[in-house]
A and B are shown apart, each in its own frame.
Chain A
Amino acid sequence: MIAITIDPIDVAAAMTYLQSDQAGAIDLFLGIVRNNTQERPVDRLEYEAYDRMAITEMQKIADEAQQRWPIIRYAVIHRKGILKIGEMAVLIGVSTAHRADAFEACRYIIDTIKKTVPIWKKEVFIDGEEWVNAHP
């Protein structure tokens, strides 16, 4: 399951999707909006995506993960729009027979998403705003 959504991410629905009688392990990574960046207070994050390409890039990452680990099911869901402190921006879920594969595959997917998928976040501070990673 791969998705970009403007609605809140439904963790319970993802869990249900990931469950399988063969899966002894389910790993979930939840990315949450934090209230500061390097001690500068954050008011909110604004995410935007090039949806069409973001979906295909996330699919490539999931395909690569399936080549490398014996994944039973995966869920990759990224939210976009305006997110407040405490809201969930991303969910990565992987189910496998044993836990080591689930941990490794989950980490690979989120780490690679941050490098290649065309999604952008703007940090909005009390006194300004900044697109993350945009400037040297």
Chain B
Amino acid sequence: MDLPVSVLLFGITRDLTGQSAVTISLSQDARVSDLLNQLHQQFPPLTGIRSLLVAVNGEYAEADQLLNRNDEIALIPPVSGG
């Protein structure tokens, strides 16, 4: 079974992909690291960003966190508030 997840994009990741959200198809027991690998394959310019973190349901996620179908997932490029 595939696990389609929607990923919110902000800042430079939105500019590089030209989209504010993308849908990525992952395998059923995919983790955050699998999502990042898939995103890098699908959007090679993302590899030029200094760091990319993933937020799941509004919290920073570790690389080995499992993803679920209804998670709110966001890609977090280096922050620069203030």
Interface bin, chain A: 20 to 34
Residue A116 lies at the interface, judged by CB distance under 8 Å to chain B: yes
Binary B-proximity of A116-133 (CB < 8 A = 1, otherwise 0): 111111100000000111
Which residues, 21 to 79 on B, are CB-close (under 8 Å) to A? 48-50, 55, 58-59, 74, 76-79
Q: Is the interface of A mostly helix, strand, loop or mixed?
A: mixed
User: Are B80 and A133 in contact, with the CB atoms below 8 A?
Assistant: yes
Q: How far is the CB of B4 from chain A (nearest CB, A)?
A: 21
- The distance in angstroms between the C-alpha atoms of A106 and B15, with both chains bound, is 33
Most B CB contacts (10 A, CB to CB) among A50, A119, A132 go to A50
User: Are A119 and B59 in contact, with the CB atoms below 8 A?
Assistant: no
Interface bin, chain B: 10 to 19
Residue B82 lies at the interface, judged by CB distance under 8 Å to chain A: yes
User: Are B80 and A50 in contact, with the CB atoms below 8 A?
Assistant: no
Residue A49 lies at the interface, judged by CB distance under 8 Å to chain B: yes
Mark A residues whose CB is within 8 Å of B.
Answer: 31, 47-50, 52-54, 56, 78, 89-90, 110, 113-122, 131-136
Q: 6 closest A-B pairs (Cβ-Cβ)?
A: A119-B81, A120-B11, A132-B80, A131-B12, A133-B78, A134-B12
25 A–B contacts, CB within 8 A, in A order: A49-B10, A49-B81, A50-B76, A53-B58, A53-B59, A56-B58, A78-B82, A110-B82, A113-B82, A114-B79, A114-B82, A115-B79, A117-B79, A120-B11, A120-B77, A120-B79, A121-B81, A122-B11, A131-B11, A131-B80, A133-B80, A134-B11, A134-B50, A135-B50, A136-B50
